[in-house]
Amino acid sequence: MQDLILKIKSNTKVGKDIYHMVLEGDIDISNIGEFVNIEIPGYYLRRPISVMEYSKGQVEILYKVLGHGTNDLSKFKENDELKVLVGLGKSFDINKSKKPLLVAGGIGVAPMFRTIREFNEKGIRPVMVYGARSKDDIVLAEELKKGCDLYIATDDGSLGFHGNVVSAIKELKPDYDYYYACGPQIMLKFLSLFDNNGEVSLEARMGCGFGACMGCSIETTNGPKRVCKEGPVFEASEVKF
């Protein structure tokens, strides 16, 4: 874990209330599924945000404006600086699958960009089901299509399959041996009820972000665990939703 000062290279709106931010600095992230914890001036708690993509000296994130903190984050400009905790969280284990299914709900699409690239580097083109409320909430679909077979589901039927991702999976019947999912807890719950042979990346309100405060603890079949420390990635069969 590192507490760094990173400089904003860009902070661009890419969808309805959704922003893509690129941060630069002395940073070297190495695992899929990690998250960063961003300090926003004027707020007591940092904001945990999934890593979208990374390289040496750079990290990219996607975030959605959901409250005052993320609204203020959206107003930061190029060359502004942010204090960021990096090196947080457990990653997806892509070695578990040769025919992966990626499942994303809303802003849970963020870690899928790097996950797709990691599979592509292994010579694997995954199938992905990406769900959101409407077509306005779907972002960067063309970029995703470069590395995966993408199916879109929207609750209102404005784009792709009319319904949620679990219904779409039941209808499409994709050929897969293991899945990797990130999105709202209700989505992950019903996905695990349908099929618990996969990994889920959980969202949670966090205090410290590195395991000290126990504020993001969840119940699992192996007792209480912290989303920020033992997670955010867990085996679906382990989580008591």
CB 108 within 8 A of CB 203: yes
Percentage of the chain modeled with pLDDT above 70: 98
Q: Which domains does the chain have, with CATH numbers?
A: 2-88 (2.40.30.10), 94-238 (3.40.50.80)
CB 148 within 8 A of CB 128: yes
113 pLDDT exceeds 90?
yes
Helix residue ranges, H only, the chain: 68-73, 112-121, 141-145, 165-172, 185-194
88 pLDDT exceeds 90?
no
Provide the Cα torsion 62, 66, 70, 76; round to 10°.
Answer: 70
Residues with Cβ < 8 Å from 44, sequence gap 6 or more? Answer: none
pLDDT band for 226, please (50, 70, 90 cuts): confident
Q: What is the DSSP string of 165-221?
A: HHHHHHHH----SEEEEES-HHHHHHHHHH--SEEEE-----SSSSSSS-TTEEEET
Out of 21-30, 60-69, 140-149, 211-220, least confident range: 211-220
209 pLDDT exceeds 80?
no
149 pLDDT exceeds 90?
yes
215 pLDDT exceeds 90?
no
Residues 15-73: pLDDT tens digits? 999 999 999 999 888 777 788 999 999 998 888 899 999 988 999 999 999 999 999 99
pLDDT in the model for residue 29: 81
